[in-house]
Amino acid sequence: IVDIQYIPDLQALCIAVSDGTLIQWTVFNNELEEVGCVPSGIKTMCWSPDLELLILATGEEKFILMTREYDPIIESPLQDEQFGEAEFVTVGWGKKETQFHGSAGKQAAQQKQKEITVAVEGDDCKTRISWRGDDGLYFVTSFINKNTGARQLKVWTREGTLHSTSEPVDGLQQPLSWKPSGSLIASAKKSDNKQEIIFFEKNGLRHGEFILPFQNGQIKVKELIWNIDSSILCVWCEDIEHNSYVQLWTVNNYHWYLKQSLMFGDKEQVSAVHWDPEHTYRLHVTTRGGNYHQYTWTWVTNSSSGTSDKDQALVGVIDGKNVLMTPFRKMVVPPPMSAYNLTLPQFVQQVMFCLEDQYSNNIAVLLQDNTVAFYSYHISQGKECTGVNVTAAGGTGFSIKCQLPVFTGIYHIEGLESSQHPLSLYHTIWVKSDILVLITISEDGSCSTLYKTHVNSTNNKLDVKCKTDIENHVYNISKCQASDNLVLQLIDGTLLQYDLESDSILPWVDSNGDEVKFPSPCSTLSVCKLGGQVVVLGLTDRYRFYVNNIEVASNCSSFIVHSEFLLLTTLSHTLRCINLHTQLKDLPSLSDGKEHPFDESIRRVERGSRIVLVVPDDIKLILQMPRGNLEGIYPRALVLSAVRHHLDRFEYKKAYTIMKKHRINMNLLYDHNPTLFLNHITDFIQQIDHVTDLNIIVTGLQEEDVTVTMYTAAYQQTNQKQDKKESESKVDVICDSIRSALNKLDADRFLLSILTTYVRKRKPELEAALELIQQLRENPVKNKTVSAEEALKYLLFLVDVNELYNVALGTYDFDLVLMVAEKSQKDPKEYIPFLNELRRLEDNYRKYSIDKHLRRFNKALQHISHCGPNHFNECLKLIEDQKLYVEGLKCYPISSSEYKNIATNNGNYLLEKNRQDEAGVMFIKAEEWELALEAFITCKNWCQVFCMTALLGYTADREAEIGRKLAVQLKESRQHREAAVIFEQYVKDIEEAIVTLIEGEQWDEALRLMYRYKRQDFVETNLKPALEEKIANELESLENLKSDYIKYKTRLGVVRNTKENERLAVLEGGVGNMGDSDLFSDTSSAAGESVHSKYTYDSSRSTVFSKMTGKSRKRGSVRKWNLKEGSQFEDCALIEALAKIITTVTGFKEDINSLLKILVQYNYDDKASDIQGEYDELLTIIDTSIDEIWSNTGQTTDTVLGPNTTANSIAQAVQSGRQTTGSTDKLVLAVPPQYKKDVRWKLHMVQSSDS
């Protein structure tokens, strides 16, 4: 048998026999059929990746391309003398001697091409064929060229056309495998002193190689096999002693690493090696001894796991017999380089770090022969570091930049009873400095066995102390952080807990006592405390991330546990930092969307990034890119966490250094805990202890609290701030506190910082800063650290020179003004004449002129008021121009003529502003009684009017004339009671007073005047007619109100039902129209319907909607709904109209009570009963319907439209029944109008007998 191939869809096996017979065996019916025959025999058979084409290499040095139905397509000779369709074209650009030869140098041009020799000894001389695995568009053949006797490669298209021929390579061997991703063709090459794996491109040119770690002539490469994703190349070879080796090679940053090497003895020679077609990292091996081995690998980062800053954050990378070590706390060395290498005598199987925090840097290496090599950092560095080669960390004459481990010996395992097959010891974990736990395959291969071993440093042995059989094969193992217990994961996802003290194994249970089992096995396993519970974290090869048995994410590519965060990278190229205080119930809701615009727990990362490790007790996270290079990043969540911890421990210098390096807002120093910061302000300054750093902090101060704005996500769980006074300025408090502390510590040294605290206040105290500089200028010996010139130069850096010049001018100190002006760009021809002119003025007038120039009008008024009567007109003009009447009155005595003059002008100004009442008072202060009288008459202040007439000494007739005009105005403004008082007391017209009260429905007061002045005749002539008219109007008004109320309420129910039906239609897939439905009609608008009430507002305001004036339209802020049937917000308009009716009806209970009394008094009992009955019925209707109207208005008012609206939010609103409206009057729609229910308005004497 030459080759076999299983065809899944046919459930058949295709078998090629060397005599040329091609057989198909159908498995399900056990039918054997000969489907073809090649007379010259078959040397090789190879099917395409899609199983649509078949290639046969015949004994005549030809290949036959066939369909899956075994119909020949083409037959072509392998020994084709042509190069192929991709043959290179020479364009004659110079000679070879003048071309660039890269690192080989110019001598490469003179080197003669090595002659090609015949195929090396051991070559089976068979033709090899390999398809390009990603698409099957090309295949490559490897054969012995009959002209040279050496092997040669030719690349053919899927149609059988020759594409290219490989360049001549001496020593080329028969192994051949095209990388499934299609980029490279792998083969083997034997040289004089080495055995290489070489690569070709599709065009036949060489493209890299790597050397196998064997001596020359020791081994022979049998096969090369790529796994399905092209990430691992399996090299199967045999040595001269008939031992088989299966090695796994990977590439990163153009360097090939030997990750695993399995050695099978001569009795168990490998007969076949195949990668699993579905599981990426599963390898199948069969041996001549009749054994079948299945190996499943996964990618694991071997790193130290300490929690203190003593841990060096070591990472070990396996590369054959070397372990490449890098301490990431000290340096980030890009692969394939490393800080130093550990060189071992055997191939490395696994790298371990001690999980005991004190010894977390110590290293243990499991070798191919099941021995363990130990390296320690706790031994004196004076001892020679055997097998440690320094690379990127120094050496070769340079100082070494990191601590190196010391080799302590190779330990043999005593008492291990396991299978002797390669990698039977497949899991090791270094729990304590003297305890290792080993997982092996049992002797019969049915399950796993756990061994607890003790490190015996006396005789370099690992003594087995306990052996425990496990019910199934162990898939992964991890250690609990809080204890020495181990978590074992079986191949079916079951989790077990191994107690290191009692050597017992129990099921892993969660906080509720339920057993935990992963839905699928997780290649990465970890244990941490999350949300107050100890949980197991697992990540599958298919990117599903589990916490216990809860799937948290389906796109997680890697994770790691930090002291405060769980860090995840996702396939959407983001890094997520989940706080370990997060409750488990909240985890499934996590996504890549930021809940808050300033959420620092999510950041974008480069495509394909995966976590290597996070440096313990630090903020550095190491990521590896797909091509292999490393990147150290500082996630903002970790940075903020570190800053918070430093601030809690009052380590201000460390916190400031991190904040400055990572550009964290300096306000966090104070906002983190304002009280503690102010209490430790001296410690803060002493730790910073640098003027420049203090200035950076002070200049960056802002009024906002960054813990509730910029960094709110980091402070959501811990933000407990004391309420501060609204008038208190945060910046002012900090500046004053820092300045006070600086003055106590060393005012001279921190002079520039003190100036900064003056400038940065909410209202900069530039005068105080200039005064400080002036003192330094007058006494330069006082401060030897900073001169006055330097201080002024620094101040000008902080403040605009023109502003500082004005402040200096405002001090009235011309020496200070000149000092500032000299440092500015001002022209001396401009400011010197101005200053000279000011010098010549009188002191108060000079200050007035300066203040007016600086537009400090209040100070200017103070100074001009002291300049005497000659400047009063100028003072009065300043008061009028700047409206400083109140301040001006304070500058002069009350009895002075200036005071009265200012008061008179103030009164005239108030009249212009239509404030006649205030103007009248001001005229009184100015003793302008006539002007005050006119002002009070205009504003209808009748009490003050008659006070003024008394002061002016008016006669009774003059007073009566003024009173009659004023009473008429009061009646027009519905102030009947006040008008009646004027008619009675000042006009002496009793009849007009009584008539006015009856018109104003002031029944009791009208009766009082009738009986006082013996005018009961008005009862028949005026009172009763007015009552009868009032009865008719009142009954009509109540009837209209009741009718409107019932109509609006009924319509509201119809509108709500219709909109609910529309919403349900949308949810069921209908189109619907949320706002503009079939409610539209051709009926007339209801927007003009009135809510009649004489008690609340007049007819101009009786409609539900008031008309906007042109002025209000310009404001753009008035919003009213439309009562027109079918309008978009008709329901809102109906609710508002109903609310207004309720307010109207419930507002005149006292008026109804007064009316009922007067009606009963004059024997209108039946009419009173009718009014009381109608009103009581309307109130009952209102009381019983309020709950119905405002029962579900919460949905109506929950608006979702606006600048932040999304399609999802609108869809959710529709599903929940909310209205997608704009801004609404939520108070009217959400809450019914409030009214007093305890007002006693009913009259018992008019109640019906059954009430």
Grade residue 725 by pLDDT with cuts at 50, 70 and 90.
low
Mean pLDDT of 796-814: 84
Give the model's pLDDT for residue 1064. 83
Q: What's residue 587's pLDDT?
A: 80
| pLDDT, mean of residues 347-359 | 93
Quote the mean pLDDT of the chain.
Answer: 84
Q: Rg of the Cα trace of the chain? A: 49
- Look at residue 596 in the predicted model and tell me its pLDDT: 54
What is the model's pLDDT at position 452?
94
> Rounded to whole angstroms, how far apart are CA atoms 588 and 792?
60
Which tokens belong to 828?
A: 């001396």
What are the φ and ψ backbone dihedral angles of 219, each rounded to 5 degrees?
A: -130, 165
**Strand, coil or helix: 875:** helix
* pLDDT greater than 60 at residue 844: yes
In the predicted structure, residue 575 carries a pLDDT above the cut 80: yes
pLDDT of 955 > 60? The answer is yes
Cis peptide before 336 (omega within 30 of 0): yes
The contacts found for 888-892 with CB under 8 angstroms, 24 or more apart, are: 888/861, 891/861, 891/862, 891/865, 892/865
- What pLDDT score was predicted for residue 184? 93
Give yes or no for residue 91 having a pLDDT over 60. Answer: yes
Is residue 782 predicted with pLDDT exceeding 90? Answer: no
Tell which wins on pLDDT, 823 or 528: 528
Instruction: For residue 565, give the nearest of 670, 655, 492, 636 by alpha carbon.
Output: 636
pLDDT, tens only, 293-325? 999 999 999 999 988 889 999 999 999 999 999
Give pLDDT, residue 95.
64
For residue 885, the model assigns a pLDDT of 86
Contacts 24+ apart (CB under 8 A), 1106-1111: none
Answer yes or no: is pLDDT of 817 > 60.
yes
Choose among 284, 153, 160, 176: nearest CA to 222. 176
Kindly report, residue by residue over 45-59, the tens digit of the pLDDT.
Answer: 999 999 999 999 998
Residue 895 reports pLDDT greater than 50:
yes
Mean pLDDT of 383-406: 77
Tell which residue, 513, 509, 483, has the closest CA to residue 494: 509
Tokens of 253: 């940053």
Band (pLDDT 50/70/90 cuts) for residue 800 is confident
Mean pLDDT of 1125-1139: 86
Q: Residue 384 above 80 pLDDT?
A: no
Q: List b or e across 940-966, with b for residues whose CB sees 16 or more CB atoms inside 10 angstroms.
A: bbbebbbbbbeeeebeeeebbebbbeb
Residue 121 pLDDT = 74
The average pLDDT across 769-792 equals 82
Q: Token pair of 1024, please?
A: 């009763």
**Given a cut of 90, is residue 682 above it in pLDDT?**
yes
Contact 734, 701 (CB under 8 A): yes
pLDDT tens figures, 520-548: 999 999 999 998 899 999 999 999 999 99
pLDDT band at 1089 (very low <50, low <70, confident <90, very high): very low
pLDDT at position 261 is 95
**pLDDT band, very low/low/confident/very high, at 1124 (cuts 50, 70, 90):** confident
- Separation of alpha carbons 239 and 643, rounded Å: 59
Banded model confidence at residue 679, pLDDT cuts 50, 70, 90 = very high
Range in 238-252, 648-662, 1120-1134 with the lowest mean pLDDT = 1120-1134
H/E run at residue 144: strand 138-144
Average pLDDT over residues 999-1015: 88
Using alpha carbons, select from 949, 951, 1161, 1200 the residue that is nearest to residue 1074.
1200
pLDDT at 131 exceeding the cut of 60: yes
How high is the pLDDT of residue 1247? 65
Backbone φ and ψ of 226, nearest 5°: -90, 145
Report the alpha-carbon distance of residue 195 to residue 210 in Å, rounded: 9
**pLDDT score for 1095:** 37
Strands 270-275 and 255-264: unpaired
Q: What is the pLDDT of residues 965-988, one digit of tens each?
A: 988 988 888 888 888 888 888 888
- Taking only the tens place, the pLDDT of each residue in 1017-1057 is 888 888 889 988 988 998 999 999 999 989 988 988 898 89
Least confident stretch, 361-365, 670-674, 819-823, 956-960: 819-823
pLDDT given at position 487: 95
Within 13 Å, how many C-alpha atoms sit on residue 1170's CB side? 15
Model confidence at 105: pLDDT above 70: no
| CA distance linking residue 292 with residue 1228, whole number of Å | 80
Pair of tokens at residue 402: 């990191």
Residue pair 477/495 in contact (Cβ under 8 Å)? The answer is no
Alpha-carbon span 981 to 986, nearest angstrom = 8
Look up the pTM and report it: 0.73
Q: Is the pLDDT of residue 247 over 80?
A: yes
> Tens of pLDDT along 898-938?
888 989 998 999 989 999 899 999 988 888 889 988 998 88
Please indicate whether residue 1214 or residue 317 has the higher confidence score (pLDDT).
317
Mean pLDDT for 385-396 is 75
Tokens 């010197």 locate to 832
Confidence of residue 354 (pLDDT cuts 50, 70, 90): very high
Q: Which amino acid is at 336?
A: P
What is the strand order of the sheet 12-16 is part of? 3-7, 12-16, 21-26, 31-37
Would you mind telling me the total number of residues written for the chain in this entry? 1251
- In the predicted model, is pLDDT for residue 1078 greater than 50? no
pLDDT over 50 at 1093, yes or no: no
DSSP code at position 494: B
Residue 104 is predicted with a pLDDT of: 63
DSSP assignments along 541-561, one per residue: TTS-EEETTEEEESSEEEEEE
* For range 556-581, the mean pLDDT: 92
Comparing 418-427, 478-487, 1197-1206, the range with the smallest average pLDDT is 1197-1206
Angle, alpha carbons 750-752-755 (nearest 5°)? 110
Query: Residue 733 above 90 pLDDT?
Result: yes
Would you place residue 1109 in the very low, low, confident or very high pLDDT band (cuts 50, 70, 90)?
Answer: very low
The single-letter DSSP state of residue 347 is -
Among the listed residues 301, 120, 138, 147, the one whose alpha carbon sits nearest the alpha carbon of residue 204: 138
The answer to which of 397-401, 657-661, 699-703 has the lowest mean pLDDT is: 397-401
**pLDDT tier at 1075 (50, 70, 90 boundaries)?**
very low
Rounded to an integer, what distance in angstroms lies between the CA atom of residue 673 and that of residue 649?
12
Pairwise pLDDT comparison (91 vs 330), residue with the higher score: 330
Mean pLDDT of 480-505: 91
Q: Quick check: 649 and 676 in contact, CB under 8 A?
A: no
Among 87-96, 607-616, 817-826, 1190-1199, the least confident range: 1190-1199
